[in-house]
A and B are shown apart, each in its own frame.
Chain A
Amino acid sequence: MVRGDGLYSGLIGDLKRYSYIKATIMEVCGTHTMAISRYGIRSLLPEGVRLISGPGCPVCVTEPGAISTAVQLAESGVTLVTFGDMMRVPSARGSLYQARAKGADVRIAYSPLDALNIAVNNKDISVCFFAVGFETTIPGISFTLKRAIEEGIDNFSMLTSLRTIPPAMEVIVKTGEAGVDGFIAPGHVSTIIGSEAYRDIAEKYGVPTVVSGFSAGDILTTVSMILDMIESNESEVRIQYEHVVKPEGNIKAMKMMYEYFNIYDIAWRGLGIIEKSGLKIKEEYSAIDALCRYDIEIEEEDEPEGCLCGDVLAGRAIPPDCSLFGGLCTPSKPVGPCMVSSEGSCAAYYKYGGDRVRYTI
């Protein structure tokens, strides 16, 4: 039960007036995935309104080949540092957690700067930071690169698998496979890139987009704002999460993002290669790029057998559609990343149920 009984009854009542609308609304943010399941938002909406998850969990969309490469580096004697969420994601070479259990030096950092500090304080080891993330995380990663380069920390490198969200949303709209009628745009990615970044999605492709906060009230209001646009045949970008997100975003952070990275085409789990959706270290700084330093490549790798993670991330399936869900694949024994990550769609469905009524407001 969400705190503040009855607080949202007005909002839920307002939503009833859209009961004649059939619409699929996609969120593209792991925290929204969790919040929607936790609050039981799906059960509060008119019957025709479906909420589905998209590629909003950075750990989940990281191509399995990049994880294999990270494991390979760790096994070769490099100290591999990454965010905690990445540790248990399986790849053809196993997970980083398994590599550590077998004796590799794999460490967890809260901040990329912590990874750099490991290198600064341990000159006798080679440290590689496995950097995954979206726009929220990339400016800090870029800042860390800047510091490493400026201070000449030559026992530090980065293996990057960094992505930007709007091109993935565009592909989802263009392929039409998920039948998305509206987007709940991510809150903290948008803090960096601003709501203007979704203008094409809304205006060129006609999909109403609202940047949302994370409370039950925020999400219900956002859904209502999207349905209102659908009803009146409008398509704009609007901000519900006004106190944190500005149309122009965080200009300083965006500038930092592109100082050390170039845009390139990168593979997303479930969505394939998306043009201009990735960021890689600029050629002039290739000495710090782990792929150059260790002369390795990220190879293409298949999904685990039977795993529907890719389809779930693309909005083509929901977790219960997967034959492994809840049986062979559970949070304690995950097959795919959507069950591993605390923000993964499968983990959220497993923990809180999907469309089942679990919480009342």
Chain B
Amino acid sequence: MCLAIPARVLEIDGDMALVDLNGVRVRANLAFVDGVKVGSWVLLHTGFAISVLTEEEAMETFDILNQVFGGEEK
């Protein structure tokens, strides 16, 4: 349940943002992170960004999540 997923910030409006979460546009709260800009990657948990990631870290995290929670390995 403490799973957090990388999302890319598309628009910012105050402490709320529109983010791309694995192809889905969702609202995200940015109250707990600093220095986020349009294009930044954040680690999103239950609609709240809990840390900021580089693109490379975000991609690596996607790979790991796919391995752990994705379909059975062939």
Interface residues of A (CB under 8 A from B): 1-3, 29-31, 34-35, 38-39, 57-59, 83, 85, 110-114, 132-134, 136-137, 139-140, 143, 186-189, 191-192, 213-216, 218, 243-244, 250, 252-253, 256, 341, 343, 359
Contacts and interface: CB of A to CB of B under 8 A. Distances in A.
B48 to A, nearest CB: 4
B26 to A, nearest CB: 8
Contact of B1 (A38, A133, A216, A252): A133
A191 B4 contact: yes
A324 B46 CA distance: 33
B46 A137 contact: yes
Given A253-B32, A256-B32, A188 B68 contact: no
A113 B1 CA distance: 16
Contacts of B61: 214
B31 interface: yes
A1 B61 CA distance: 18
Given A29-B2, A188-B3, A214-B64, A112 B47 contact: yes
B53 interface: yes
A72 B4 CA distance: 31
A111 B67 CA distance: 24
Interface of B: 1-4, 26-27, 29, 31-34, 43, 45-48, 50-51, 53-54, 57, 60-61, 63-65, 67-69, 73
Contacts of A192: 50
Given A29-B2, A30-B2, A136-B2, A191 B51 contact: yes
B48 A359 contact: no
Nearest to A186: B2
Contact of B32 (A139, A213, A216, A359): A139
Contacts of A1: 73
A134 B69 CA distance: 21
B68 A253 contact: no
Nearest to B66: A3
Contacts of A252: 31-34
Contacts of B43: 188, 191, 244
Contact of A250 (B32, B46, B65): B32
A325 to B, nearest CB: 21
A250 B48 CA distance: 13
B63 to A, nearest CB: 7
Nearest to A146: B31
Given A3-B67, A134-B1, A343-B1, 12 more contacts: A38-B68, A58-B1, A59-B1, A111-B29, A133-B46, A189-B2, A191-B50, A214-B61, A214-B65, A214-B68, A215-B64, A252-B34
A35 B29 contact: no
A199 to B, nearest CB: 21
Contacts of A83: 1, 46
Contacts of B54: 243
B74 to A, nearest CB: 8
A114 to B, nearest CB: 7
A143 B16 CA distance: 12
A218 B1 CA distance: 20
B36 to A, nearest CB: 12
18 contacts: A30-B3, A39-B68, A58-B2, A85-B1, A112-B46, A113-B47, A132-B1, A143-B48, A188-B43, A216-B67, A244-B51, A244-B53, A244-B57, A250-B50, A252-B32, A343-B1, A343-B3, A359-B73
Nearest to A56: B2
A29 B3 CA distance: 9
Contacts of A113: 27, 29, 47
Contacts of B1: 30, 57-59, 83, 85, 132-134, 136-137, 341, 343
